[in-house]
């Protein structure tokens, strides 16, 4: 106790030490707020995106030339009026390559994940009815890690191969994430909502063929 009282008297006797101590405490608080962002426990965001589609290109159709004045119309003439554009082709439905249900890891999470192939050959990862917590530096990862229940499954997703599809757009809703065309989907078997700052999974889904 005498040592503590002596230290207190020394600090009071040296205003510079007091100022430095206050600055150090302020820096530690600032770093802690930056890393942990505790206000995210009370924030939430929702984004509802339509399911992706790619319109098939049916090719442009050149209208038949108009017959000269007085000429009888040709029986092969199209039924549409000259110059009338052809009816647009309906977008082809995406093909489901893989899908899975989200399980909770560090935070309660639910929803479904689908890997879709569009008519033009592009691929998209889609969350539907996603429900998880907000947090700092959340990413969407395709990985080759197993999806395990409980604490053993929280930290495995950066152990092997993973593909970062970008920042999580919102912690609720339906969302689309383009997959790079060069990605070999055979190498990836799971999806994680991954907190990159603390290397922990908020929730994940194992992917399987439909």
Residue 171 CB contacts under 8 Å (≥ 6 apart), including other chains = 44, 45, 46, 130, 131, 132, 133, 134, 135, 138
Check residue 56 and give its pLDDT: 41
Check residue 40 and give its pLDDT: 57
Q: Find tokens 């003439």 and name the residue.
A: 77
The domain spans of the chain are 1-38, 91-210
Check residue 23 and give its pLDDT: 62
| Average pLDDT for 86-113 | 90
| Average pLDDT for 28-38 | 47
Percentage above 70 pLDDT, the chain:
62
In this predicted model, what pLDDT tens digit does every residue of 165-195 receive, in sequence order?
999 999 999 999 999 999 999 999 999 999 9
Of residues 142 and 72, more confidence is placed in 142
**Buried-exposed string 60-93: b where 16+ CB fall within 10 A, e elsewhere:** eeeeeeeeeeeeeeeeeeeeeeeeeeeeeeeeee
Closest to 61 measured CA to CA, from 78, 43, 38, 39? 78
Check residue 7 and give its pLDDT: 53
Question: Can you name the CATH fold of 91-210?
Answer: Immunoglobulin-like (2.60.40)
| Average pLDDT for 13-38 | 51
């Amino acid at each position: 106790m005498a040592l503590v009282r002596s230290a207190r008297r020394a600090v009071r006797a040296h205003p510079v030490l007091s100022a430095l101590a206050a600055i150090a405490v302020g820096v530690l608080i600032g770093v802690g707020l930056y890393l942990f962002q505790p206000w995210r426990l009370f924030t939430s965001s929702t984004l509802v995106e339509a399911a992706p589609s790619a319109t098939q290109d049916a090719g442009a159709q050149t209208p038949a030339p108009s017959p000269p004045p007085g000429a009888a119309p040709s029986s092969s003439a199209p039924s549409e009026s000259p110059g009338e554009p052809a009816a647009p082709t309906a977008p082809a439905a995406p093909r489901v390559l893989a899908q899975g249900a989200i399980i909770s890891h560090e935070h309660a999470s639910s929803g479904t994940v689908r890997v879709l192939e569009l008519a033009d050959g592009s691929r998209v990862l889609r969350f539907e009815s996603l429900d998880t917590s907000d947090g700092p530096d959340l990413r969407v990862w395709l990985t080759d890690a197993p999806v395990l229940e409980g604490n053993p499954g929280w930290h495995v997703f950066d152990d092997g191969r993973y593909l970062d599809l970008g920042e999580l757009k919102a912690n609720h809703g339906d969302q689309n994430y383009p997959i790079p065309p060069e990605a070999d989907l055979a190498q990836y078997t799971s999806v994680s909502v991954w907190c990159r700052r603390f290397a922990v999974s908020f929730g994940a889904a194992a992917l399987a063929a439909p």
